[in-house]
Amino acid sequence: MAEEATRRVLVPGGSGAVGEGVVRAYLAAGAIVVVPTRTEQRADEFRELLGDAASDRLHLFAHDYATFEGAETLAATMRERFGGIDDVVAPIGGWWAGKRLWEIGAADWDAAFTGLATTHMAVARAVLPRLSGRGSYAIVVGESALHPVPGSGLVSMEQAAVLMMRRVLAAEAGDEQRIHALVLGPVRTRVLPGEPSWVSAEQIGTVAVALSRSPGEASREVSLRTSAEAEQILARLA
Ligand SMILES: NC(=O)c1ccc[n+]([C@@H]2O[C@H](COP(=O)([O-])OP(=O)(O)OC[C@H]3O[C@@H](n4cnc5c(N)ncnc54)[C@H](OP(=O)(O)O)[C@@H]3O)[C@@H](O)[C@H]2O)c1
């Protein structure tokens, strides 16, 4: 546990429903947790939501990390300020629904595909060369990356692209870095209480922390479709 006290973790998308579980888990594990968010308002709301959990190890601030330039500044600042970056968990995304693919417009494409895919790429290219090697980089996607979801095709396409990005990065990094994907089923969050059988945001955070602290876990895709699956993985990592 003492090792976690100095771990420096970046959670872009940390203000979101899944991100909250990740941020809470790393704070509870004693890490320094950096959460950029694209608006001041969201920073204020998320700080309030965290309440007492928002300790002085949480660095939550407004910053546009969704561009190559913005992500580069973020990674450079983190290195200057904290001396490096050990872990990244990227629950960047969200749901989009309501149109078949041939009904979408340019604004849908930009919001649900280009914008999100660009943000993942921007963060990965800025951070990976600066990762210390002590921890890991984990992207967060849904099962929709693997299966077409009619009416939400842009989500499936974007998530599949990000999943392939992870595969390419892992192949290119070899033994230098551990680059994981957490592939989620429906999640119990502050937004959606869901069913007891669903994996919870809290469990996702706990798995992310355990994975990053397991140097023997080479780059991999971790299926977290249910609460039971999360518990099995946690038992194995323990
Ligand atoms: N919730 C679920 O049940 C569920 C199930 C399966 C998979 N997932 C996956 O988990 C990930 C997170 O989902 P979520 O439910 O937590 O979503 P969310 O609550 O909407 O949060 C997503 C976060 O991503 C950031 N974000 C959103 N759009 C962005 C954009 N265009 N550019 C940059 N950042 C953007 C936001 O951060 P800021 O606005 O603060 O910058 C936000 O905090 C997604 O990949 C999603 O597919 C979620």
Give the model confidence (pLDDT) of 196-215 as tens digits: 999 999 999 999 999 999 99
Of the candidates 8, 74, 68, the one whose C-alpha atom is nearest the C-alpha of residue 36 is 74
Question: Which atom of ligand 1 is least distant from the CA of 139?
Answer: 45
Give the model confidence (pLDDT) of 129-168 as tens digits: 999 999 999 999 999 999 999 999 999 999 999 999 999 9
Classify 99 as helix, strand or coil. Answer: strand
Residue 180 is which amino acid? H
Tokens of 201: 């945001």
Q: How far is the CA of 137 from the centre of ligand 1 (A)?
A: 17
Residue 6's pLDDT is what? 84
Measured by CA distance, the residue closest to atom 19 of ligand 1 is: 16
66 pocket-lining for ligand 1 (C-beta < 6 Å): yes
Largest CA distance in the chain: 53
199 pocket-lining for ligand 1 (C-beta < 6 Å): no
187 pocket-lining for ligand 1 (C-beta < 6 Å): yes
Q: How far is the CA of 2 from the centre of ligand 1 (A)?
A: 31
Phi/psi at 58 (5° precision)? -90, 125
What pTM was computed for the model? 0.97
For residues 110-120, give the mean pLDDT.
97
Q: Provide the mean pLDDT of the chain.
A: 96
Measured by CA distance, the residue closest to atom 6 of ligand 1 is: 142
16 pocket-lining for ligand 1 (C-beta < 6 Å): yes
Measured by CA distance, the residue closest to atom 18 of ligand 1 is: 16
- What is 9-64 written as a DSSP string? EE-TTTTSHHHHHHHHHHHHTT-EEEEEES-HHHHHHHHHHHGGG--TTEEEEE--
Of the candidates 69, 79, 109, 111, the one whose C-alpha atom is nearest the C-alpha of residue 94 is 111
Give the model confidence (pLDDT) of 72-87 as tens digits: 999 999 999 999 999 9
pLDDT exceeding 70 applies to what percent of the chain?
98
Which of 37, 38, 41 to probe ligand 1 with, by most ligand atoms within 8 A of CB?
38
